[in-house]
Amino acid sequence: MENQVLTPHVYWAQRHRELYLRVELSDVQNPAISITENVLHFKAQGHGAKGDNVYEFHLEFLDLVKPEPVYRLTQRQVNITVQKKVSQWWERLTKQEKRPLFLAPDFDRWLDESDAEMELRAKEEERLNKLRLESQGSPETLTSLKKGYLFMYNLVQFLGFSWIFVNLTVRFFILGKESFYDTFHTVADMMYFCQMLAVVETINAAIGVTKTPVIPSLIQLLGRNFILFIIFGTMEEMQNKAVVFFVFYIWSTIEIFRYPFYMLSCIDMDWKVLTWLRYTVWIPLYPLGCLAEAVSVIQSIPVFNETGRFSFTLPYPVKMKVRFSFFLQIYLIMLFLGLYINFRHLYKQRRRRYGQKKKKVH
């Protein structure tokens, strides 16, 4: 007796872009599933409601679908996924208005249109977030890039200031005091480079790349660049003075300990000797540096008065000449105010690093 051809139970659900069909047949192997002229054809040998038989059905879809169905076999059923040609919600599955008797909603996967839209939006948002993360890189990658960037910046600054420090030291031992008077012409180009590059340090603090407070970083940047570019850079008369040697030497001495400390921090290394020097050497050097800068400003006042550079006359009716030396005198006050702010900041850093030894109370 030939096997009877029967129709299996089929359950369906939809999303805006897909149709899901669940065919209740078990032990199915090599089913014939195809879509031609927008009609799904299914035929397979399997165990269904009428026992082990050949089951088949045909469904003409309500709207156009892509002719490449995807199916997955399990022990109990056949799951078929069909892609809609246009992403939209269908009012029913088949072209004929009357639902076939073997077809029923799949309530395990069923969603109404509003729920399906929410699911679609959630998937789209998840996809966009994934793309955004891929374009930005993983947090670990970003951290590695930031550390690499900071390491290279600190390395370049360390090499620049080390060159200045070694150059000035060697020249002093060879030429003695004579080396003081041509310091500017010997190392000014490298100092210009290092101090212009120091702008990056303040930007890093401002945008959160580093945890350094912006104000102390900005005060040091503006103060040094004012001395370098205005006091020394614009006045040839100042470039041959001995004070240039002391300003440059103190600056470079501070930085040859600071930048290596930051370099090692980027690779999570802590060299105790270097750490102690970084948090201690500023105690004598910052006041000495401030004093040297103040001397350079004081020595420049008569030079600016004599040349009249940067001086100006107020317009009518005041017609009063304002000398640049007036601003230099104000700058001298601000110089020591800046020293207080930076000194206070560095002192807090040192106290956080090493703490305060509390005396035991008996």
Cα–Cα distance for residue pair 317/314, rounded to 1 Å: 8
- Does 68 participate in catalysis according to the annotation? no
- Does 149 participate in catalysis according to the annotation? no
Task: Tell the residue number behind the tokens 């620049």, with chain if given.
Answer: 160
The CA-atom distances, in angstroms, between 81 and each of 11, 17, 45 are 12, 10, 20
The CA-atom distances, in angstroms, between 107 and each of 10, 49, 110, 149, 236 are 12, 19, 5, 55, 89
**Which amino acid, residue 174?**
I
Q: Is 208 exposed, middle or buried (0-12, 13-18, 19+ CB in 10 A)?
A: exposed
Catalytic residue among 249, 279, 293, 331: 293
Cα–Cα distance for residue pair 234/198, rounded to 1 Å: 20
10-14 and 5-6: which strand pairing? unpaired
Q: Which two structure tokens, joined as six digits, stand for 328? A: 């230099």
Catalytic site residues? 286, 293
